[in-house]
Amino acid sequence: MTGTPPEQGQNALELALAKRDSTILRTVREAIRHRQVMLAFQPVVQARMHAAIAFHEGLVRVLDETGRVVPARDFITTVEETEDGRILDCLALEQGLRELEREPGLRLSVNMSARSIGYGDWLDTLTRGLRAGPTVAERLILEITESSAMLVPELVIGFMEDLQARGVAFAIDDFGAGYTALRHFKQFSFDILKIDGQFIRGIAQDPDNQVMTTAMVEIARQFDMFTVAESVERAKDAQVLTGIGVDCLQGYYFGAPTVTPAWRAPPSKRAHG
């Protein structure tokens, strides 16, 4: 009987994963060093009126050494607990606030980690950005993933209360993917609940996910939160979600993330676009 012993196979896998993570970290650090970090913007539309954009989400992207745009899903888990993750949060927030200052009609959500709440540079970036214009705060939405919020719930709750008093809104991202303690959920006072894409993709053919999503919509409604379904990719899924009562929809069916959004186009092109 031949073959690789299980422990050797496991070691090979661990080495491969470690090498991959090391490569990703190096790519992110080089991108940070050369300021090759940007936001890609994706629309979030009203469920009953798809032409009406409720807001855009600014998704962080980095460029690798070839100039290829690397999406956050390829690196965010690897850098989340590192200093690089905090710096990326700073750069994403800085760019998002600058966009809000330039575009008075824009409402924008920017992702953050709960770990950044205690990071001085991130807080300084936020403070400066909110002073840039009288309506910036009320047009900013900060998105915190469910799993991140649960790391330090008491800190997140206090932070949210302070900023909500200034007009900033908060979204709990990827809801359903983590393990929210309901006692904390009641105290969080999020403004927007974003339902994780694992419940949304193919929902038209999945009665179980229809029930789960309906339950999440009811929870959000009880706590006066708007709901956003993530990863909407098909018309039939959009129809089912609208019937369930989801307020807003986000996904490739309505628009892919882009680093060249329509509002950056010259006025002549906007008129004909």
In the block, which residue shows the tokens 């900013």? 140
**Hey, what CATH topology would domain 16-23+34-264 get?**
TIM Barrel (3.20.20)
Q: Per residue in 51-90, pLDDT tens? A: 999 999 999 999 988 888 888 888 888 888 889 999 999 9
- 261 pLDDT higher than 70: yes
Q: Per residue in 200-238, pLDDT tens? A: 999 999 999 999 999 999 999 999 999 999 999 999 999
Select from 197, 198, 203 the least CA-distant residue to 242: 203
- The Cα 242–Cα 220 span in angstroms is 15
Domain boundaries, the chain: 16-23+34-264
pLDDT at 265: 78
pLDDT at 226: 97
Task: Tell how strand 69-71 and strand 140-145 pair up.
Answer: unpaired
